[in-house]
């Protein structure tokens, strides 16, 4: 039987010495010898190279509570109250976040570990410097602990946000990344888009005053001008505005005939705008413009309307034709009145007609010379008229 036992603790280990199963002391790196006479010695070796990730077990914490003087130089202990958050730093780098109401310890190594305690009972907003560190966290341990400890919201450009804690609005948020400690409270952020927005109200089937079924597509441009008012008075801004546009459109279309709607679509737009703009302004919403993009008729009404338009165009064409005929007759009458008292003009007109007639004749036999051309043919025409 060997009377002396030798144990080797490496630089990456800490040893816990037990004598007859009772803890005796903490062993550091080196060679340790014990007389194994009348007692049984055992050593529990613990790897401390990954202390920051693993910490120490419950058994070690229990022993440290019983023998604080033996563990004081070997352990870095920490504890958070119900209203504190712990930030664990190793060599000045944030490695982990500890929740309230917890305790633990790390084995001391050459890499210094520091614990920063933050009171979150009143001020639970995370500083800008810490926000920058946490937003760029890539280390798994820090990322996991941050996901449990932090509530974050990224308020986009052109938006405004409201911080709601336990159902009560606390503050207004500008654009940017915001973080809070979410322990012991329920945090919610409501965002509102302050930019000019478009809303489509499509496929609204409505009966006109003369009982014609239409399908109307409406487009509206709107903007939130008072986000506080909109948040306090409306559960859903877009749903409210959609319903108001829908109701106004139905009200106006149902009081007008099809002809009135088609004759002045801009009147429909202006009426919808006037009704909804007045109501929405009381909720912090400015309605900028409204436009009926499409007024769609059912199939049979399209055919009837096409026939009506065709008949109107035919009637307009006939009217224009009759007006032209009347104008031509009036012109001929005026010409005849002028020629009636002017033989020279009448003769010139006769020669003009003679020129037109002879232009279409291939062969023309004339007797009596030039005098026959100038006089006899006209007299022949006169005789034909008399006969």
For residue 228, the domain's CATH number is: 3.30.479.30
Using the 3D structure, point to which of 297, 313, 329 is the last residue of a domain: 297
Q: Is residue 202 part of a domain?
A: yes
Q: Is residue 189 part of a domain?
A: no
Phi, psi of 306 (to 5 degrees): -65, -40
Q: Is residue 145 part of a domain?
A: no
User: Nearest CA to 146 among 160, 132, 166?
Assistant: 132
| pTM, entire model | 0.67
Residue whose structure tokens are 């990322």: 143
325 and 242 co-located in one domain: no
User: Nearest CA to 353 among 342, 362, 345?
Assistant: 345
Q: Is residue 40 part of a domain?
A: no
290 and 312 co-located in one domain: no
359 by Cβ neighbours in 10 Å (0-12 / 13-18 / 19+) ranks as: exposed
CB neighbour list of residue 19: distance below 8 Å, 6 or more residues apart = 39, 40, 41
289 and 327 co-located in one domain: no
Is 19 in contact with 40 (CB distance < 8 Å)?
A: yes
256 and 275 co-located in one domain: yes
105 by Cβ neighbours in 10 Å (0-12 / 13-18 / 19+) ranks as: buried
| 14: helix, strand or coil | strand
What is the rounded distance in angstroms from the CA atom of residue 45 to the CA atom of residue 15? 5
Q: Is residue 244 part of a domain?
A: yes
348 and 329 co-located in one domain: no
Q: What is the pLDDT of residue 386?
A: 44
Q: What is the C-alpha R_g of the chain?
A: 51
What is the rounded distance in angstroms from the CA atom of residue 227 to the CA atom of residue 231? 6
What is the rounded distance in angstroms from the CA atom of residue 294 to the CA atom of residue 249? 13
Q: Is residue 329 part of a domain?
A: yes
329 and 363 co-located in one domain: no
Q: Is residue 332 part of a domain?
A: yes
In our burial notation (b when 16+ CB lie closer than 10 A, e otherwise), range 251-263 reads ebbeebebeebee
317 and 266 co-located in one domain: no
Is 243 in contact with 235 (CB distance < 8 Å)?
A: no
Residues shown for the chain: 387
210 and 258 co-located in one domain: yes
What is the rounded distance in angstroms from the CA atom of residue 20 to the CA atom of residue 41? 6
Q: What is the pLDDT of residue 385?
A: 42
Q: What is the pLDDT of residue 300?
A: 64
The count of other CB atoms within 10 Å of the CB of residue 290 is 25
Q: What is the pLDDT along the chain (387 residues), one digit of tens a residue?
A: 567 788 899 999 999 999 989 999 999 999 998 877 778 888 999 999 888 888 888 999 999 999 999 999 999 999 999 999 999 999 999 999 999 999 999 999 888 899 999 999 999 999 999 999 998 888 899 999 999 999 999 999 999 999 999 999 999 999 999 999 999 999 999 999 999 999 999 988 888 888 888 889 999 999 999 999 999 999 999 999 999 999 999 999 999 988 888 888 899 999 999 999 999 999 999 999 999 988 887 666 666 666 777 788 888 888 898 888 888 888 877 877 777 777 777 777 777 777 777 777 777 666 666 566 566 655 534 443 444
CA atoms within 13 A on the CB side of 158: 7
130 by Cβ neighbours in 10 Å (0-12 / 13-18 / 19+) ranks as: middle
Q: Is residue 368 part of a domain?
A: yes
205 and 247 co-located in one domain: yes
What is the rounded distance in angstroms from the CA atom of residue 168 to the CA atom of residue 29? 57
Q: What is the pLDDT of residue 275?
A: 96
What is the rounded distance in angstroms from the CA atom of residue 7 to the CA atom of residue 26? 13
What is the rounded distance in angstroms from the CA atom of residue 387 to the CA atom of residue 123? 123
Structural domain count of the chain: 3
209 and 262 co-located in one domain: yes
270 and 212 co-located in one domain: yes
What is the rounded distance in angstroms from the CA atom of residue 47 to the CA atom of residue 19? 21
Structural domain span for residue 349:
341-387
Interior CA angle at 185 toward 179 and 189, to 5°? 45
How far, in Å, are 218, 252, 264, 274 from residue 290 at the CA level? 7, 13, 14, 10
316 and 232 co-located in one domain: no
């Amino acid at each position: 039987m060997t009377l002396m036992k030798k144990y080797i603790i490496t630089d990456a280990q800490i040893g816990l010495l037990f004598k007859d199963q009772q803890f005796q002391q903490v062993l550091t790196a080196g060679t340790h010898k014990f007389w194994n006479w009348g007692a049984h010695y055992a050593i529990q070796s613990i790897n401390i190279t990954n202390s920051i990730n693993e910490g120490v077990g419950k058994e070690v914490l229990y022993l440290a509570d019983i023998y604080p003087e033996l563990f004081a130089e070997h352990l870095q202990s920490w504890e958070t109250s119900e209203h504190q958050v712990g930030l664990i730093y190793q060599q000045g780098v944030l490695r982990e976040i500890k929740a309230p109401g917890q305790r633990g310890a790390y084995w001391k190594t050459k890499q210094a570990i520091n614990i920063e305690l933050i009171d979150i009972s009143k001020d639970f907003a995370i500083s800008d410097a810490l926000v920058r560190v946490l937003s760029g966290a890539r280390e798994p341990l820090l990322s996991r602990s941050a996901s449990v400890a932090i509530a974050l919201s990224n308020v986009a450009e052109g938006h405004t946000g409201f911080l709601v804690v336990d159902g009560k609005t606390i503050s207004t948020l500008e654009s940017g990344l915001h973080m809070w400690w979410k322990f012991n409270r329920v945090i919610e952020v409501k965002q509102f888009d302050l930019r000019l927005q478009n809303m489509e109200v499509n496929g609204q089937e409505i009966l006109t005053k003369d009982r014609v079924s239409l399908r109307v597509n409406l487009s509206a441009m709107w903007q939130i001008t008072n986000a506080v008012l909109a948040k306090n008075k409306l559960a859903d801004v877009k749903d409210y505005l959609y319903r108001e546009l829908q109701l106004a459109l139905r009200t106006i279309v149902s009081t007008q005939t099809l002809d009135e709607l088609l004759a002045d679509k801009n009147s429909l737009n202006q009426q919808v705008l006037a009704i909804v703009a007045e109501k929405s302004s009381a909720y912090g919403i400015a309605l900028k413009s409204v436009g009926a993009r499409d007024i769609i008729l059912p199939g049979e009404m399209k055919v009837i309307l096409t026939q009506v338009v065709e008949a109107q165009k035919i009637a307009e064409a006939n009217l224009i034709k009759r007006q032209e005929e009347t104008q031509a007759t009036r012109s001929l009458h005026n010409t005849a009145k002028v020629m009636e008292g002017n033989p020279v003009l009448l003769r010139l007109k006769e020669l003009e007609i003679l020129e037109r007639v002879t232009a279409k004749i291939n062969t023309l036999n004339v007797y009596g010379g030039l005098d026959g051309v100038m006089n006899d043919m006209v007299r022949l025409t006169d005789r034909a008229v008399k006969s």
